[in-house]
Amino acid sequence: MQTSTAWYRIARVFLPFAAGYYLSYLFRMINALIAGHLSSDTGLGTADLGLLTSVYFLIFAAAQIPVGILLDRFGPRRVQSVLLLLAAAGAALFAISTGFLSLLFARAMIGLGVAAALTAGLKSIILWFPKERVALLNGYMVMLGSLGAVTATAPVEHLLAWMGWRQLFEILAAAAGATAILIYVVVPERGIVPSTARPTLGSVFGDRRFWRMAPLSATCVGSAWSLQGLWASPWLTDVEGLDRASLVRQLFLMSIVLSGGAWLFGTTVHSIKRRGIGAETVLAIVAVLFIAAELTLVLRAPLPAFLPWSVIAIVGTATVVSFAVIADYFPPELAGRANGALNVLHFGWAFLAQYATGLILEQWSANDGHRPVQAYQVAFGLSVALQIAALVWFVLPWGRYLASWMRPIRFFVPASVSNIVESVSSYENSLILIPADDDAEW
């Protein structure tokens, strides 16, 4: 790609979509900081607050498949600009809402309005940039977008010192509307090269590789979003005993790490793929580190809280890795559907984890407004158990290769060990593959 052409595409394609994803991240994370203001102004309880925040993820997840189809059919420019106008309307409604139901409806509108923020950006990268640059640019996209998480900490705290949260959402409504207009006016149209085979959603859901990696990606990334988007703040207050200033500083540092994690994942995947190593390996390593970080919190290991929470923050940008895996699985004409299908699981799990955590915490009585550490240990521990199960499911097929490697040295190992490995491989081979309906219309 020539330098002038590259900068043209970055300025007119990459940056406008990055701005939209920045707003999406800001909307996603901001409730963690204004949770106290919402509770005091509207009288929301813990479960209500969890539902209000997590409905964003529920609507976001429900919209992913239709959004993916629309992106493949009409292109990211038109889809993103229209949906961001809906997000602007939702933010404006949130700013004037006084009751739980109106706040819930407004939050749902915001979730639907930014539902295409990431997938539209990823689709635009696939359409406008060389394939060998996709993983790297995905990392930069998520890095710039995650600056919204940075904004939703100390900068927003300073704004709240001289304006209310309602005025803040009025500003966000105006920003979303302006970004919608920017994308529609600045981003050029790009035709999609037709494929000989009709792209269908069944091609995605009928792929065994998708169902092997998707549960692991969803339980890790979705849980990371749930924790940093809401429950990090109560944990740091109730368990670690941080005051307001220390809490904001901790959330700010986590958001900086989050942004750096996106860059790290993008460059790592770009580098290892050039060496012939698959992105699946990185995904497995990320999952192990994430589970270890959560266990550090649950078991109250004597480590600074910043360390495990930084790992959790970084995993929130592991979508860079997951979408790199998806890009290896499916052709460009299926990119919108495939990314949307994976995002359904990401955001669906984030909704379940965020809401379920609030329900579990409410089973313990609050002492002076604080929940006991046992409540958080149960809630977080249940999530970790499910992530471990997803990790085991993900690595099962590797047992086949391990069995093949061990056959030449079978004489030197106990028969029981060899039998165990071969039985794991046989189990993986017995998995039923759901056939894709090539004639289905979506």
| 441 falls within a domain | no
Q: Virtual CA dihedral for 340, 17, 156, 109, nearest 10 degrees? A: -50
86 touches 112 (CB < 8 A): yes
- DSSP letter at 1 equals -
Whether 272 and 330 map to the same domain: the answer is yes
Going by C-beta distance under 8 Å and a sequence separation of 6 or more, which residues neighbour residue 179? 16, 19, 20, 23, 84
What residues pair up with 146 in beta bridges, in sequence order? none
Same structural domain for residues 388 and 402? no
Residues of the chain with confidence (pLDDT) below 50? 195-196, 409-413, 415-418, 420-442
* 376 and 293 housed in the same domain: yes
From the number of C-beta atoms within 10 Å of its C-beta (0-12, 13-18, 19+), residue 380 rates as buried
Residue that has been written with the tokens 């056939």 in this structure: 435
pLDDT for res 427 = 42
- Are both 409 and 283 inside the same structural domain? no
User: Could you give the CA distance from residue 59 to residue 57 in angstroms, rounded to a whole number?
Assistant: 6
Whether residue 228 is found in the same domain as residue 321:
yes
How far are the Cα atoms of 18, 52, 59, 211 from residue 132, in angstroms, in the given order? 20, 40, 33, 25
- Structural domain contains residue 17: yes
Report yes or no on 75 lying in a domain.
yes
Q: Does residue 345 sit within a domain?
A: yes
Residue 194 lies in a domain: no
Let me know if 294 is exposed, middle or buried by CB neighbors in 10 A (0-12, 13-18, 19+).
buried
Cα dist from 287 to 6, 225, 296, 319, 393, whole Å: 34, 14, 14, 12, 12
For 198, residues 6+ apart whose C-beta sits below 8 A from its C-beta are 438
Q: How many domains does the chain have?
A: 2
137, 73: one domain? yes
Phi, psi (degrees; rounded to nearest 5) at 370: -120, 135
- Minimal CA–CA distance to 313: which of 183, 220, 203? 220
2 belongs to a structural domain = no
Specify whether 295 is located in the same domain as 383. yes
Q: 316 with 383, same domain?
A: yes
Q: In whole angstroms, give the CA distance from residue 128 to residue 75.
A: 12
Residue located via tokens 């329900």: 359
Say whether both 165 and 20 belong to one domain.
yes
Domain region containing 104: 9-186+202-395
At residue 104, what are phi and psi to the nearest 5 degrees? -65, -45
| 442: in domain | no
CATH classification at residue 32 = 1.20.1250.20
- Tokens (6 digits) for 137: 């640019």
The verdict on 40 and 26 lying in the same domain is: yes
**Are the CB atoms for 325 and 189 separated by under 8 Å?**
no
| Pair (287, 239) in one structural domain | yes
- Looking at the structure, do residues 311 and 238 belong to the same domain, yes or no? yes
pLDDT computed for residue 202 by the predictor: 82
Q: Tell me, yes or no, whether 361 lies in a domain.
A: yes
Q: Each residue of 352-375: pLDDT tens digit?
A: 898 899 889 989 987 877 889 999
277's torsion region: left (phi>0), alpha (psi -120 to 50) or beta? beta
